[in-house]
Amino acid sequence: MALVPSGDARAFEVIFDRHGGAAFSLAYRMCGRRAMAEDVVQEAFLSLWRNGARYDRARGSVRSWVLSVVHNRAIDVLRSGVTRESRNVHDDGITERLEAPERTEVEVARRDEADHVRGALGQLPTEQRHVLELAYFGGFSQTEIASMLAVPLGTVKGRMRLGLTKLRIVLGDPADALA
Partner 1 sequence: MSGPDCSVGPRDCGADVPGYVLGALDRVDAELFRRHVDSCAVCRDEVVALTAIADSLALAVPQLRAPKSLKRRTLACIHPDACAGPAQRPAWLRLGSSRPAVLPTVSIGRRGALVAGGLLAAAAIGVGGISLASRDANGIRDLPAAVIDQGRFANAVLHVESGHAELLLSRMPAPPTGKIYEVWLERHGGEPQPTSALFSVTSHGAATVDVPGNLTGVSEVLVTPEPAGGSLVPTQPPVIVAPLAS
By CB under 8 A, residue 113 contacts partner 1:
yes
By CB under 8 A, residue 149 contacts partner 1:
no
**Chain centroid to CA 43:** 15
By CB under 8 A, residue 95 contacts partner 1:
yes
Task: Give the nearest distance from C-beta 171 to partner 1 in angstroms.
Answer: 6
One-letter amino acid for residue 169 of the chain: I
Give the C-alpha separation, 53 to 143, whole Å: 34
Binds partner 1 by CB under 8 A, chosen from 125, 143, 147, 179: 143
Going by C-alpha positions, the residue among 130, 119, 115, 116 that lies closest to residue 162 is 130
By CB under 8 A, residue 71 contacts partner 1:
yes
Task: Give the nearest distance from C-beta 147 to partner 1 in angstroms.
Answer: 12
Give the C-alpha separation, 55 to 72, whole Å: 15
Binds partner 1 by CB under 8 A, chosen from 56, 85, 105, 173: 173
Give the C-alpha separation, 12 to 140, whole Å: 31
Task: Give the nearest distance from C-beta 15 to partner 1 in angstroms.
Answer: 11
Going by C-alpha positions, the residue among 130, 117, 133 that lies closest to residue 167 is 117
Task: Give the nearest distance from C-beta 143 to partner 1 in angstroms.
Answer: 6
Give the C-alpha separation, 138 to 135, whole Å: 5
33 to 52, contacts with partner 1 by CB under 8 A?
33-36, 38-39, 41-43, 45-47, 49-51
9 to 38, contacts with partner 1 by CB under 8 A?
9, 12-13, 16-17, 20-26, 28-29, 33-36, 38
